[in-house]
Amino acid sequence: MGKGPEVTIKDVARRAGVSIATVSYVLNESAPISEATRARVLAAAAELGYRPSAIARGLRAQESRTIGYSWHQHPPDRWHPILDRFLYSMAEAAEEQGYHLGSSGARNCHSVRSCCRLR
């Protein structure tokens, strides 16, 4: 089954009967909003299954708040319980601080410079 269209703050605003700015204020806790309006916005967001887009927030803030992590997997395709636990813990810690973790196992890399473009 394909993924449906992503719910936006416009959709939440329409459902709650408020402006897009009001939805933004409620979600970012950046302006005083009445409890009744706050509850209506949060209920609309929950009903629609709204999830903030990390990409959209990054574009607006001009920062991604993303941490990239890559490692050389040796031997390839082998399960590494310690590495798995480490990555899980790292992702949890990043999320607690408002960051997202992007991780990838690098194959056929003999050096960092051969796997990444350093600018």
Tens of pLDDT along 51-97? Answer: 887 777 777 777 778 888 877 766 667 777 888 888 889 889 988 98
- Looking at domain 9-52, which of 1.20.1740.10, 3.90.700.10, 1.10.260.40, 3.40.630.10 is its CATH number? 1.10.260.40
CATH 1.10.260.40 positions along the chain are 9-52
- Assess contact for 52 and 95: CB atoms under 8 A: no
Question: Nearest Cα to 20, choosing from 31, 8, 34, 4?
Answer: 8
CA distance 36 to 29: 15
Peptide bond connecting 75 to the previous residue in cis, omega within 30 degrees of 0: yes
Query: Model's pTM, two decimal places?
Result: 0.53
